[in-house]
Structure 1
Amino acid sequence: MSEYISALMTCLEPINLLLIVAMVSLGIVFGAIPGLSATLGIALLLPVTFGLSTETSFVLLLAIWIGGVSGTFISAVLIGIPGSSSAIATCFDGFPMTQKGQAGKALGIGMTASFIGTVGSVILATLLSPVIAEFALHLGPWEYFSLCFCAITLVASLSKGNIFKGVMAAGIGLLMGCIGMDPINGATRFTFGNVYLTAGISTVAQMLGMFAMCQIIRDSAKGEAKMPDVDTVTNKGLGIGFKDIIENIKTIVFAFASGLWIGFLPGMGSGISNMVAYGYAKSINKDPESFGKGNPAGVWASETANNASLGGALIPMMALGIPGDGITAMLIAGLTIHGLQAGPLFMTEQPDLAMLIFACVLVAAIVTYIIQIATKRWFPYILKVPYHYLYTVILVICYIGGYGISNTMFNIYVMLALCLLAIFMSIAGLPTSPLVLAFILSSKLERYFRQGISYAHGSYKEFFTRPLSAALLAIAVFCVVWPLFSEHMKKKKAAAAVSVNQDVNDD
């Protein structure tokens, strides 16, 4: 408890509080403008953290994360375009409320639901992470290998479209993670005599190339660099009262629980939780037909769930060193930059920094809510920022960040190459999430696998005879097999239905 109080005091120091306010404000802008996101904001900030202390670095990264995720509902409500996938369900009822003249109420619900989801989930993450980390200290390399393998297969199986594309993307990520020095004996692999590849591919270069630059090029190519007109009507006050919360308390509680759980599962995150919570809210509502036409419960469910996923994703990141989503993968990269390793030992060896991360998320959530209330009337103007100004600045930051990694042009070339890879993957329909997660976990996956074999004197059976390891491997196999089996059964039922119809027509 003393570490947490100390962390809170650190966050409330004038310079850190000022940084939180600035980064939260920037994050809200990034989240509100479709095409930009908190992921992009963190990718751009990673190179900046090289010259900063570990504490200041995470104040910056966490603040822009919280502001960015919370700000996604703004464009969803005002123009019907989600700032990111986490606010897709918010569009369904948020924008119809705006069309009916209830924009102020919809924005007030979005702000309050985001605040409830973030604060509640980070408090639970603060309480649960040390317990999970203590349990994880008793696990061996067999369980850790199976956990990493399960995380990768889960993300691959949840990829949109063909599961083989998800597995292929994960394979590319694992192959990229093999470049550099062997983690066990130090031998170089896939460097082709290039000394710059000895340390492997830079995570920062990967994030800048595959997220920032690729996003800009794709939006420009699709002609999505122009925003529609926005009604800049002044919105005064919060727009809702305590009565609105009480009326929707059942929806809020379930949305919070589902968001927290889905955020905990690697690779799922807020993009899925907001849709699940929305579907439940519609199923329990007395007037389900009003959903999609401006029912406030739809906004409550979506925004509570997608922000509750933040705390859920923090738990595996802090306690196990497993990223819960793409953004926490970047936060793990931020720890790596400063010579730290997320996981059970991090919670015990660096308790001050671990508590600082939780405290910073809490403070950032409170600051975000205050800023949103104070600037609510100016939200429509955020969406009028010209894209050509934003994209120019972002590209310059990308090049500066790429060069600053090692003060050489090599990482800029890597960044451009990975940008081209991401564009090719987008054209081919390959998801990037499995690649990023597999790349982040590749070194751990290999190290734990080889340690497990070494400890067992060359035997593989420990991976299957230890209960938890066997259970995780079974889940991994199920994640891969079930989508294939499910697709086969759907085709079989469809064929049977066609056959029945033909028989009826013949009769």
Structure 2
Amino acid sequence: MVDFATILAGFGDAFTMTNLFFVIFGVALGQFVGAVPGIGPVMAMAIAIPFTFSMSPLVGISFLVGVSKGGLVGGAVPAVLINTPGTPDAAATALDGYPLAKQGKPLKATKMALFSSVTGDTFSDIVLITVSAPLAILALRMGPVEVFALMIMAFAVLSALIGNSVAKGLIAAGFGFLCATVGSDPEHYTPRLIFGMFDLYDGLPLVSVAIGTLAISEIIRRLSEVGGQMRPAVELIDTGNPEDKRVTWAEYWGCRFIILRGAVIGTILGALPGIGSTAAAFMSYAATKTSSKDPDSFGKGNIHGIAAAESANSAVAGANLIPLLTLGIPGSVAASLIISAFMIHGIQPGPLLFQDQGRLIYGLFGAMLMANFTNLWLGQVGLRLWVKVISAPESIIFTSAILLCFVGVALSTSGLFGVGVMLTFAAIGYLMTSLGYSIVIFIIAFFLGPRFEISLSQTLALLEGDLTQIYQYPIAVALLVFSAGFLIWFFSKKAHGESGDQSQVSIED
């Protein structure tokens, strides 16, 4: 367990002027990119990673966390104002936010989204701070066999829940593992799949792969859809009633149980790899609508719907770091980018992180709490500014982002080789997205590939090559049985749903 002096030292490191500046800058950048439909905090984080090399690990990672948290607030702005979610997380927010804005209450809707988002995010951060250290202690009791089984379970859940096809999810994971084998063997350090290019001896650059698949491919796709058209300016109705421009304490307090339920749903789902904040938002929205005394008012401007969606999708942000910090398994793309930032600074996430880098982790916790209050402050100040942001032309924003990608990768990889890798994976990411293969699973598999390979080799060594001896490790057996049972249940449920849809179509015909 981390001693109290280390915890205080970590929080002291967080509350410095340098760290505060980069947290504020990260939150402001996150709100900006979240407010512009199509960019999103994930793309901004991918672009920003190379620029964190010159920073200390705490400052660099705190900056990325600020971008992620700010993007959750910013994504609700276009969802409310123009019915176009800035991030997928805000799709449920648009269901009631946009009708409320059409009634002349856009500021009330955006402020309710802001307050609910910050409350849900803070709740999940408190859960992260209180449970992550004990979970890390439990994780230390797990040997290589249990870790291998746990990673199998994580990929089974990810492959099933992300995307529309389990088979495509598994193929994406396999391709991620294949790309992770490029370079030297982590066990014997013999070169593999380098094809005479010794620049690949250390493997494919993390930054190049992440920016290529997540940022450049998405920018290319979005630019192809612009078609030379400029985004129209937002026209808002002013009712002249000051009550329509604010959220009173009575309105916020009246949503307290809804916000709490959304925060709990988001925290639970965020701790499970792969489910994501979009699913959490819709589950919380559905639960609130079902339990409401007036369910017909939802979708017509009910402020409770905004509170339910925003509290849940923001609570996922902190909970996603629970499996990352305790097990080294990222549960989302944002978590994958944060884990890459850890690795770039020479820090290996996992259960030993609290023992070896306890001061850094509690400094990160302090920065996360700081980012929440910054989100609240900047959100109230900048809501009117973000209205102007969402009317910016996409062509200008995306071309600027491409320039930053090239500069960042060239600086981080010390040459044009990394840029070539980035462009290659931009094309691969574009094809994967077009064909329905999950980039999320690919990225997570690529990041976890070396650790998965080491766990597999250690497992085979402990079992002396005889997999039937795995019964000696009951925890690993339980995890593998759960993985198989989950996939069987998911396949059967999906097959039943498809047969039901076909029968419905035949009856209608």
Which bin holds the TM-score, normalised by the shorter protein? over 0.9
Q: 1:464 to 1:399 in 2, by over 3 A?
A: farther
Q: Secondary structure at the match of 1:390?
A: helix
Matching residue within 272, 280, 286 for 2:287: 280
TM-score by length of 1: 0.94
Hey, what's the Cα distance between the residues in 2 that align with 1:498 and 1:281?
31
Moved more, 82-91 or 51-60: 51-60
Q: Is the 8 A contact 1:259 1:274 kept in 2?
A: yes
Partner of 1:468: 475
Q: 1:221 to 1:498 in 2, by over 3 A?
A: closer
Q: Secondary structure at the match of 2:275?
A: coil
Report the identity percentage.
28
Whether 1:357 and 2:361 are equivalent positions in the alignment is no
Hey, what's the Cα distance between the residues in 2 that align with 1:212 and 1:498?
39
Partner of 2:234: 230
Q: Secondary structure at the match of 2:349?
A: coil
Measured against aligned partners, the alpha-carbon deviations of 1:399-453 in whole angstroms (never above 9, x if no partner) come to 1122122212111111001000011112211111111111111111111111111
Q: Is the 8 A contact 2:120 2:315 kept in 1?
A: yes
Hey, what's the Cα distance between the residues in 1 that align with 2:309 and 2:261?
11
Q: Is the 8 A contact 2:125 2:368 kept in 1?
A: yes
Q: Is the 8 A contact 2:18 2:59 kept in 1?
A: no
User: How does 1:24-43 map onto structure 2 within 5 Å?
Assistant: 24-43=27-46
Partner of 1:201: 204
Q: 1:283 to 1:186 in 2, by over 3 A?
A: same
Hey, what's the Cα distance between the residues in 1 that align with 2:156 and 2:491?
13
Q: Is the 8 A contact 2:102 2:237 kept in 1?
A: no
Offset at 1:496? 6.2
Q: 1:497 to 1:8 in 2, by over 3 A?
A: closer
Matching residue within 325, 335, 355 for 1:328: 335
Q: Is the 8 A contact 2:182 2:200 kept in 1?
A: yes
Hey, what's the Cα distance between the residues in 2 that align with 1:498 and 1:96?
32
Hey, what's the Cα distance between the residues in 2 that align with 1:20 and 1:155?
30
Letter in 1 for 2:267: L
Partner of 2:140: 137
Moved more, 376-385 or 420-429: 376-385
Hey, what's the Cα distance between the residues in 2 that align with 1:342 and 1:29?
29
RMSD: 2.1
Q: Secondary structure at the match of 2:53?
A: helix
Q: 1:496 to 1:272 in 2, by over 3 A?
A: closer
Q: Is the 8 A contact 1:146 1:472 kept in 2?
A: yes
Letter in 2 for 1:110: A
Matching residue within 145, 164, 169 for 1:161: 164
Offset at 1:291? 1.0
Partner of 2:398: 391
Q: Is the 8 A contact 2:270 2:331 kept in 1?
A: yes
Whether 1:243 and 2:246 are equivalent positions in the alignment is no
Q: 1:496 to 1:15 in 2, by over 3 A?
A: closer
Hey, what's the Cα distance between the residues in 2 that align with 1:222 and 1:267?
28
Hey, what's the Cα distance between the residues in 2 that align with 1:464 and 1:181?
33
Offset at 1:190? 1.1
List runs of 5+ in structure 2 lacking aligned partners. none
Q: 1:402 to 1:294 in 2, by over 3 A?
A: same
Q: 1:385 to 1:496 in 2, by over 3 A?
A: closer
Q: Is the 8 A contact 2:47 2:408 kept in 1?
A: yes
Q: Is the 8 A contact 1:181 1:199 kept in 2?
A: yes
Whether 1:172 and 2:175 are equivalent positions in the alignment is yes
Q: Is the 8 A contact 2:226 2:395 kept in 1?
A: no
Hey, what's the Cα distance between the residues in 2 that align with 1:421 and 1:469?
35
Partner of 2:91: 88
Partner of 2:304: 297
Matching residue within 56, 70, 74 for 1:71: 74
Whether 1:148 and 2:151 are equivalent positions in the alignment is yes
List runs of 5+ in structure 1 lacking aligned partners. none
Q: Is the 8 A contact 1:4 1:359 kept in 2?
A: no
Hey, what's the Cα distance between the residues in 2 that align with 1:496 and 1:416?
45
Hey, what's the Cα distance between the residues in 1 that align with 2:64 and 2:114?
21
Q: Secondary structure at the match of 1:405?
A: helix
Q: 1:339 to 1:101 in 2, by over 3 A?
A: same
Offset at 1:75? 0.8
Measured against aligned partners, the alpha-carbon deviations of 1:152-206 in whole angstroms (never above 9, x if no partner) come to 1211111232221111111111111111111111111111121011111111101
Offset at 1:233? 6.7
Hey, what's the Cα distance between the residues in 2 that align with 1:299 and 1:141?
44
Offset at 1:246? 2.6
Hey, what's the Cα distance between the residues in 2 that align with 1:463 and 1:86?
40
Measured against aligned partners, the alpha-carbon deviations of 1:74-133 in whole angstroms (never above 9, x if no partner) come to 111111110111111000000000001111211111110011011111111001000000
Q: Is the 8 A contact 1:232 1:380 kept in 2?
A: no
Moved more, 1-10 or 114-123: 1-10
Offset at 1:465? 4.2
Hey, what's the Cα distance between the residues in 2 that align with 1:55 and 1:205?
22
Partner of 2:382: 375
Offset at 1:50? 1.7
Q: Secondary structure at the match of 1:344?
A: coil
Offset at 1:244? 1.6
Letter in 1 for 2:235: D
Letter in 2 for 1:188: P
Offset at 1:498? 7.8
Hey, what's the Cα distance between the residues in 1 that align with 2:259 and 2:358?
32
Whether 1:255 and 2:259 are equivalent positions in the alignment is no
Offset at 1:464? 4.6
Matching residue within 47, 50, 62 for 1:44: 47
Offset at 1:479? 3.6
Hey, what's the Cα distance between the residues in 1 that align with 2:230 and 2:174?
36
Hey, what's the Cα distance between the residues in 2 that align with 1:222 and 1:161?
23
Hey, what's the Cα distance between the residues in 1 that align with 2:290 and 2:500?
26
Letter in 1 for 2:231: M
Letter in 2 for 1:229: A
Q: How many pairs were matched up?
A: 502
User: How does 1:331-480 map onto structure 2 within 5 Å?
Assistant: 331-480=338-487
Offset at 1:386? 2.6
Hey, what's the Cα distance between the residues in 2 that align with 1:328 and 1:288?
35
Moved more, 288-297 or 128-137: 288-297
TM-score by length of 2: 0.94
Q: Is the 8 A contact 2:104 2:236 kept in 1?
A: no
Offset at 1:321? 0.7
Q: Is the 8 A contact 2:32 2:386 kept in 1?
A: no
Q: Is the 8 A contact 2:103 2:237 kept in 1?
A: no
Q: 1:90 to 1:456 in 2, by over 3 A?
A: same
Hey, what's the Cα distance between the residues in 1 that align with 2:67 and 2:411?
21
Matching residue within 182, 187, 191 for 1:188: 191
Hey, what's the Cα distance between the residues in 2 that align with 1:40 and 1:94?
25
Hey, what's the Cα distance between the residues in 1 that align with 2:180 and 2:299?
44
